[in-house]
Amino acid sequence: MELVHRPRRLRNGDTIRRMCRETRLSADSLIYPIFVDETLSGRRAIESLPGQYQYGFDALEDAVAECIHAGVSSCILFGIPAHKDALGSSAWAPDGVIQKAIRIIKEKYPDFYVVTDVCMCEYTDHGHCGALCGCHVDNDATLELLAKTALSHARAGADMVAPSDMMDGRVAAIRSTLDAEGFQDVPIMAYSAKYASAFYGPFRSAAGSAPSFGDRKGYQMDPHNRREALKECALDVEEGADIIMVKPALSYLDIIRECSDAFDVPMAAYSVSGEYAMIKAAAQAGLVDEYRIMCESALSVFRAGANILITYYAKELAQAIEKGDIG
């Protein structure tokens, strides 16, 4: 048979396949989530996230050392405070859990890149992402709290802040506050298209951030909506976001692709706790090859257009990239 085009020519052997790859991964693009518990000594296994831990201040250096050893140079911090109240005041306390964690990490590993999650849900006694007015989150009153929290993180030495609350106008409020206080060089990675997803369950138990009543559908996005994601990303870019994010990742690859194509800023994606837990559960049941599923899932996110991936598999993925199994 006379065939001019034979695509299989470029699949005939590992060397040519690797040479012609369209999507390439780097460990530099991976961010590892670290949970810091102000009341804890050592580390405690997270039952809902096999292989993941909550860390006390005395175990933080070990957590970072493990990242560095695996080839991961960045983390995002989530705090579990000793005190919670209606406004989440410990979120912006100078000696709060995240502020202390940043200083501990930076003292030992000054070049390790620390991103901080900026939200109120872990710090409020009601578990919602801002100040309440009755049973609803007061958007505009929450902006001041978020800006104060981001500023406190920057003062403690955070390299980047990442607001995950989904309040309207939060990026502008944070950017204005940081700039006014001399932190013009601290970038904002906005959780721009954060959906009201069922995939967050294991995280909420890990971070102690489940709402005590109702849900977050009033501020997180409806999973049915695609065009709205473009609107949210456009608003965040206009307000000064340096990086935009889609969350979750795997069920929203179409959103990652559209937003990546539409905006000339780096695109992040968060492979959330439910995605990780499902792979773990299926692997433990002997139904899938965990290593290959981990690699293929991450690859799909980058192929969709992400430049940055927050993932609980960051350390394992970095090692897989180094071995050449993915990358």
Which residues are identified as catalytic? Answer: 194, 247
DSSP state of 9: G
> Nearest CA to 191 among 96, 268, 121?
268
> For residues 143 and 165, what is the distance between their CA atoms, to the nearest angstrom?
10
Buried b (16+ CB within 10 A) or exposed e, 44-56: eebebbeebbbbb
Please tell me whether residue 122 adopts helix, strand or coil conformation.
coil
The residues, ordered by sequence, that sit 6+ positions from 95 with a Cβ below 8 Å of its Cβ are none
User: Using an 8 Å Cβ cutoff, are 104 and 148 in contact?
Assistant: no
Range list of H helices, 4-47: 14-19
Give the CB-side neighbour count of residue 298, counting CA atoms within 13 A.
Answer: 30
List, as one string, the DSSP characters of 141-188.
HHHHHHHHHHHHHHHHT-SEEEE-S--TTHHHHHHHHHHHTT-TT--B
